[in-house]
Amino acid sequence: MIDPQLIRNDLDSVAKQLLKRGFTLDTEQLIALEAQRKMVQVETQALQSERNTRSKSIGKARASGEDIAPLLAEVAELGDQLKAGEARLAEIQFELNEILLGVPNIPHADVPEGKSEDDNVEIRRWGEPTQFDFEPKDHIDLGVALGGMDFETASKITGSRFTVMTGSIARLHRALIQFMLDLHTSEHGYTETYVPYMVNADSLRGTGNLPKFSDDLFKLNGEQEYYLIPTAEVPVTNIVRDVIIDADEMPRKFVCHTPCFRSEAGSYGKDTRGLIRQHQFEKVELVQIVKPQESGAALESLTNSAEQVLQKLGLPYRVVILCGGDIGFSSTKTYDLEVWLPGQQQYREISSCSNFESFQARRMQARWRNPETRKPELVHTVNGSGLAVGRTLVALLENYQDADGKIHIPEALHSYMGGITVIE
């Protein structure tokens, strides 16, 4: 949620900045509602004050043995007025809140103009697209031929957009998870974290997935209103919901591997084959909770940590900054890492690293105590994938294949593969 003070004091500027991402803010509606809010709130609080004063004097009168009947008569109507005012105020505030919860974050000045992913801007490249002296296969052909990837069985067990993996491919998939966790904990200073894979609606509101994006989520049908997590970002970031963090405990850096569940509603026909877009996939997520002035640097550092995974695996990639039209709802600024996929002859997203500034923190009431002001202030949150495991597996298979369809495991993973260096 953006700062309601900005809405009140700087509405036109906010509206203008939101246009960059193609979002039109209904300023007239907000101005009208805000005027009502002010009027009703001032009235209601005056009534509350009146009631408090009178109740106190009734208490005093009774204590000194006076007759309180006339005093009670005086306040007879106050209660009804007050209730009406409180109810009206609650309505207005609810309405305002619903609107504000639906307003996306203000894009950072660095974010380029643009309407779609075609307008994203490449920042840098690492490595060159892998060259082959044969026609490279895609991961589906490779995985199926090696007998380690089975989409048909998965669709029997569950349905489309699931996978069964077996043998060395399954092991490689697990090895990637271990490798990423070890790298981020031992070299990048992140704390390994284990969290629930089901979350409540408050947590999803905190990160910005609700109320707007319920279509993307799997909701459980049990007695509790629980959802399967779409990313570890949700449970991990909510660790600090309703918490005031000591300054000397900042920054907090979490790395967390979880499965992720996404309904992928609205993506019919997109990436229907293979591992690229599944209802269930594994991801290693990096989350940082930082002081406001440090979030810009934290995004760079976190992005770099994610890049390290690709570099150590020898996978060519590029970094793009998302344009206004493509950036996520809660983010002020996002870098995507795109890995080269020989099977598709293109770069595909494998990590998305974002700075949310105080947007999630405000929804979550996640704060730190600023030693300078001695007051609790909102933290900034930064996160990114480090990396999406399924897509990393795809990239490995496709980039490390040979003419015989064997997969040569990069050295960084050897210690995790129990002596296997080639999958055949």
Residues annotated as catalytic (active site), given as ranges: 262, 277, 349, 352, 391
| H helix or E strand, kind and range, residue 408 | strand 407-408
**Distance between alpha carbon 59 and the CA centroid of its chain, in Å?**
52
**Distance between alpha carbon 302 and the CA centroid of its chain, in Å?**
14
In the complex with RNA, which residue's Cβ is closer, 93 or 130?
A: 93
Q: Find residue 281's DSSP bridge partners.
A: 260
Give min distance, CB of 102 to RNA, in A: 19
Binding marks (x or -) toward RNA, 366..405, rule CB under 7 A? -x-------xx-----------------------------
Count of Cβ atoms closer than 10 Å to residue 296 Cβ: 18
Residue 54 interacts with RNA (CB under 7 A): yes or no: yes
> 264 and 159 in contact (C-beta within 8 Å)?
no
Q: What's the length of the chain?
A: 424
Residue 79 interacts with RNA (CB under 7 A): yes or no: yes
Instruction: Please enumerate in sequence order all residues whose Cβ is within 8 A of that of 341, keeping only pairs 6 or more positions apart, or say none.
Output: 138, 347, 348, 394, 395, 398, 399
In whole angstroms, what is the distance from residue 138 CA to residue 143 CA? 9
The identity of residue 261, as a single letter, is F
- Residue owning tokens 């600023």: 370
329: DSSP letter: T
The vertex-366 CA angle with 107 and 6, nearest 5°, equals 40
In the complex with RNA, which residue's Cβ is closer, 56 or 115?
A: 56
Residue 4 interacts with RNA (CB under 7 A): yes or no: yes
Residue 280 interacts with RNA (CB under 7 A): yes or no: no
Give min distance, CB of 366 to RNA, in A: 11
Q: Which stretch binds RNA (CB under 7 A): 46-54, 272-280, 339-347, 379-387?
A: 46-54
Residue 252 interacts with RNA (CB under 7 A): yes or no: no
Q: Which stretch binds RNA (CB under 7 A): 24-32, 37-45, 95-103, 279-287?
A: 37-45
Q: Which stretch binds RNA (CB under 7 A): 52-60, 145-153, 384-392, 408-416?
A: 52-60
Residue 147 interacts with RNA (CB under 7 A): yes or no: no
108: DSSP letter: P
Residue 244 interacts with RNA (CB under 7 A): yes or no: yes
Binder to RNA among 51, 212, 406, 408 (CB under 7 A)? 51
Query: Which residues are near RNA by CB under 7 A?
Result: 4-5, 38, 41-42, 45-46, 48-49, 51-56, 58-59, 62, 72, 75, 78-79, 223-224, 244, 367, 375-376
